[in-house]
């Protein structure tokens, strides 16, 4: 029989914290990429400012940086 402890990452003490975490994750995904950001799909390429402005696809995976991962 397993018991949950406060150190367990699956354990959420307050229900409101769960909703807050979800909102924070959605906000991070909606935020625009900054220069030097890794590809959200493969993490294998750091985008330069010119690449982000031009919307060039990632050379490693071929996907657009603006598309949701």
DSSP H helices in 1-69: 15-30, 49-54
Residue 69 has pLDDT above 50, yes or no: no
Closest C-alpha among 46, 48, 56, 25 to residue 67: 56
| Contact (Cβ atoms closer than 8 angstroms) between residue 39 and residue 65 | yes
Give the pLDDT confidence score for residue 43 in this predicted structure: 85
Tell me: the pLDDT tens digits for 17-55?
667 778 777 777 777 788 888 888 888 889 999 998 888
- 11 versus 29: the higher-pLDDT residue is 29
Q: Indicate the DSSP class of residue 54.
A: H
11 falls in which pLDDT band (50, 70, 90)?
low
Give the pLDDT confidence score for residue 68 in this predicted structure: 44
């Amino acid at each position: 029989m397993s018991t949950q402890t406060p150190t367990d990452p699956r354990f959420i003490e307050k229900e409101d914290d769960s909703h807050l975490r979800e909102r924070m994750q959605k906000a991070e995904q909606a935020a625009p990429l900054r220069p030097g950001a890794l590809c959200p799909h493969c993490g294998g390429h750091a985008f330069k400012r010119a690449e982000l402005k031009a919307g060039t696809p990632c050379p490693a995976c071929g996907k657009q940086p603006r598309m949701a991962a």
